[in-house]
Amino acid sequence: MKTWTGILLMIILAVATLSVTSTAQTTNESQQQLNIDESSSQTVAVEASHIDRMNNAVNSNKEMMPVKADDVSVAPENSDVLVYPMSIEGSGYIYNGLVVEANGKKREFGDWRAEGGTYKPEVHELDLNGDGKKEIVVLYSKGHGTGIYLGQAHILDPVTLEVMKMQSLDDIVKEHVESKVTVSSDQIEIGVTVDGVQAESSRVDKAAGDGLYHEQLQFGRVTYYSVNNGKLVVSTSGAYGESLYAGDLTFSYVYQNGEWKADDLKYSMEMYEEEYYESFD
């Protein structure tokens, strides 16, 4: 009698243990899902497995930070298009590599190094060339500082998510812009011609001391990319000296012969105040 009673008691304890274990697993899984869902509605489109892989990397590298919902950027045109970091370095302001997801497809770009925080990347989905297919546009900052903002943009094929060829800023300036910086004893004169059309000349007072000035305007150290009215628009400042800017070259990208090229180029003279430089800090 004692033997059957002992066997029955062991069976009851085993069933109870399995029930508790199953309940605990279910509770943990539900709590994990709840934490992800409550962080941000953006996280719904992010694969938890990818974030888990990044967080596992944190355990083996103390300089890495976990990927959070706040690090995810969603296209305003389509919530199924998003960009987020492959990994995060330091205090969370450096993204080492970016992941682009679009309508069920995903591609990693390990060589894209971007800023996070308030400068975190943007992503858009829109038909830039009017062919009926919406390209993916990724915008981010490579770095910023006093008198510097290094904006970057990529246009991706909507089907393959491959980077499409874009004319570089250096090539655009060489093809379309001519400039000359003339330095006298007390003034600096800046002349600019865009596609053969001369812009209004600009004269500025020469600063005290033996400053170094460029012979031609230099572009690239302050460059912004944005999406406006269905176009990818660029604004880049022309420097006549170190952190000394005379005005902005603006243009948009159009698709020609298999490459995105500059169109509708304009140069506007503008004097930059000290507050402008400080805004990059």
- Please state, as a whole number, how many other Cβ atoms lie within 10 Å of the Cβ of residue 133: 11
For 164-206, the pLDDT digits (tens) are: 999 999 999 999 999 999 998 889 999 999 999 998 888 888 8
Say which DSSP state 77 is in. Answer: T
Angstrom distance (rounded) from CA 109 to CA 98: 5
pLDDT at residue number 179:
96
**pLDDT for residue 29 is more than 70:** no
Query: What does the buried/exposed string (b/e) look like for 67-97 if buried means 16 or more CB atoms within 10 Å of the residue's CB?
Result: bbbebbbbbeebeebbbbbbbbbeebebbbe
Please give the structure tokens belonging to residue 28: 């943990």
**pLDDT for residue 234 is more than 70:** yes
**pLDDT for residue 4 is more than 80:** no
Place of tokens 């000359």: 180
Average pLDDT over residues 232-246: 94
Say which DSSP state 211 is in. Answer: -
pLDDT at residue number 63:
63
Average pLDDT over residues 265-271: 82
Strand, coil or helix: 144: strand
Q: What would you measure as the largest C-alpha separation in the chain, in angstroms? A: 115
Residue 28 exposure: Cα atoms within 13 Å on the Cβ side: 6
Cβ contact 82:74 at 8 Å: yes
Model confidence, pTM: 0.73
Angstrom distance (rounded) from CA 45 to CA 52: 15
pLDDT at residue number 42:
34
First-to-last C-alpha distance (Å) of the chain? 84
**pLDDT for residue 58 is more than 80:** no
pLDDT at residue number 112:
97
Instruction: Please report, as a single letter, which amino acid is at residue 251.
Output: F
CA distances in angstroms from 241 to 107, 200, 202, 217, 218, listed in the order given: 40, 19, 14, 8, 8
pLDDT at residue number 270:
65
More confident: 263 or 53 = 263
For 146-165, the pLDDT digits (tens) are: 889 999 999 999 999 999 99
What is the chain's percent helix, strand, coil content, to nearest 5? 25, 50, 25
pLDDT at residue number 150:
97
